């Protein structure tokens, strides 16, 4: 307890946040605007735990060497984007075995029908029809274990992951009804901007790390020239005028990106670019994006030259995460009747 508090006064506990990103491919501005950058705004007001979710990544086949490298890179991006290692717990999922252990218990309190309704499972099954494995089907239960292990109050997610958090809540409520006071029931935390960044080549689809069309995806670590080239080639709409509208998905997506980087709302953007053509607007968005990411890329390069530092962050984070996770797992094991020593 804070010794500066007056006698008898109780320090209010900060709400806890948990989230993570898969290290499967080079992270995009969708990962940055929809997740990682937003985390930096939360680190003073909340008790934050952020994980590199490498166990989730193997639901799709990975090259082992690439996965190891991308795991370090994802951790480096977290720090380069502004996550203070003294204010946040940063760790790698596979370093804390309690994630997989709790997932098995939660499997026994999750209904097959619930998992079969998950939209992301249907989408990924269609995309990876040659590898529809049990892990892909069970992905949301591992995600529930990630969240519930740390008694998280809030989970920053994009719209596409909101369904998984809702299932996590259902699992936690069901477990608590049988074994009261086990889990905190988490709430999804949705940011006001950059919730879902769409492909630059197909605005009807989410921007994806795995998109085979390189021009569709802007990556956090792309060079300025590469970023400008991709925005220059971005798909726009018929007609003219920089106006946010469902009838203009290409321009609306670019406006969403510009809004997320600048903090300007759509009427402000429309006024700023009144009379401008699509080409000028695309270059303005590209310049804004590249300038915002420049310090992140510079810090990332510095971090990747010091693997020892990244390993020390991951080790310290795993130790802290393990202490928190073990308390929850011990409680769960005791309640379901497992013998412990």
Residue by residue, DSSP assigns 86-145 as: TTEEEEEGGG-THHHHHHHHHHTTS-HHHHHT-HHHHHHHHHTTT---HHHHHHHHHHHH
Same domain? For 317 and 297 the reply is: no
Q: Is residue 1 part of a domain?
A: no
Is pLDDT above 70 for 2? no
DSSP alpha helices (H): ranges in the chain?
29-31, 37-40, 54-57, 64-80, 98-107, 112-116, 119-127, 134-149, 159-178, 224-232, 249-262, 266-272, 278-304, 307-336
Same domain? For 185 and 62 the reply is: yes
The structural domain count of the chain equals 2
Is pLDDT above 90 for 191? no
Same domain? For 74 and 120 the reply is: yes
Residues catalogued as catalytic? 124, 206, 209
Residue span of the structural domain in which 296 resides: 214-302
d(CA 285, CA 261): 9
Same domain? For 181 and 279 the reply is: no
Q: Which two tokens stand for residue 37?
A: 């950058």
Q: What is the pLDDT of residue 169?
A: 96
**CB-hemisphere CA count at 13 Å for 334?**
10
Q: Is residue 76 part of a domain?
A: yes
Which tens digit of pLDDT belongs to each residue from 207-220? Answer: 988 888 999 999 99
Same domain? For 168 and 73 the reply is: yes
d(CA 103, CA 144): 7
Same domain? For 175 and 314 the reply is: yes
Q: What is the pLDDT of residue 35?
A: 87
Q: Which CATH number characterizes residue 230's domain?
A: 1.10.240.10
Q: Is residue 341 part of a domain?
A: no
Mean pLDDT, the chain, whole residue set = 91
Provide the pLDDT confidence category of residue 155 given band limits of 50, 70 and 90.
very high
Is pLDDT above 80 for 125? no
Could you tell me which residues are beta bridge partners of residue 51? 20, 91
Which tens digit of pLDDT belongs to each residue from 277-296? Answer: 999 999 999 999 999 999 99
Q: Is residue 196 part of a domain?
A: no
Which tens digit of pLDDT belongs to each residue from 60-116? Answer: 889 999 999 999 999 999 999 999 999 999 999 999 999 999 999 999 999 998 988
Chain mean position to CA 245: 27
Q: Which two tokens stand for residue 15?
A: 């709400």
Among the listed residues 139, 145, 197, the one whose alpha carbon sits nearest the alpha carbon of residue 329: 145
Q: Is residue 9 part of a domain?
A: no
Q: Which CATH number characterizes residue 23's domain?
A: 3.40.50.620
């Amino acid at each position: 307890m804070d010794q500066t508090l007056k006698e008898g006064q109780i320090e209010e506990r900060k709400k806890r946040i948990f989230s993570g990103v898969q290290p499967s491919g080079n992270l995009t501005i969708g990962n940055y605007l929809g997740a990682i950058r937003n985390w930096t705004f939360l680190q003073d007001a909340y008790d934050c735990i952020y994980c590199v979710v490498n166990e989730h990544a193997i639901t799709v086949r990975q090259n082992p060497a690439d996965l190891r490298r991308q795991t370090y890179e994802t951790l480096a991006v977290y720090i380069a984007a502004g996550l203070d290692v003294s204010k946040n717990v940063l760790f790698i999922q596979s370093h804390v075995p309690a994630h997989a252990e709790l997932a098995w218990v939660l499997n026994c309190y999750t209904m097959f029908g619930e998992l079969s309704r998950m939209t992301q499972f249907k989408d990924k099954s269609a995309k990876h029809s040659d590898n529809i494995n049990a892990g892909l089907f069970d992905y949301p239960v591992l995600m529930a274990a990630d969240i519930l292990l740390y008694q998280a109050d809030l989970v920053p997610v994009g719209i596409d992951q909101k369904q998984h958090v809702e299932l996590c809540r259902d699992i936690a409520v069901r477990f608590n009804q049988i074994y009261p006071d086990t889990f905190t029931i988490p709430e999804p935390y949705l940011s006001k901007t950059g919730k879902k960044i769409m492909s630059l080549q197909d605005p009807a689809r989410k921007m994806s790390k795995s998109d085979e069309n390189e021009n569709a995806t802007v990556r956090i670590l792309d060079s300025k020239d590469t970023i400008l080239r991709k925005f220059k080639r971005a798909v726009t709409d018929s007609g003219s005028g920089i106006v946010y509208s469902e009838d203009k998905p290409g321009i609306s997506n670019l406006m969403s990106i510009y809004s997320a980087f600048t903090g300007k709302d759509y009427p402000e953007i429309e006024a700023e670019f009144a009379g401008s053509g699509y080409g000028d607007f695309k270059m303005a968005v590209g310049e804004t994006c590249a300038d915002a990411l420049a310090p992140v890329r510079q810090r990332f390069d510095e971090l990747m030259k010091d693997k020892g530092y990244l390993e020390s962050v991951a080790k310290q984070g795993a130790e802290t995460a393990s202490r928190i996770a073990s308390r929850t797992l011990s409680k769960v094991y005791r309640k379901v009747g497992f013998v412990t020593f």
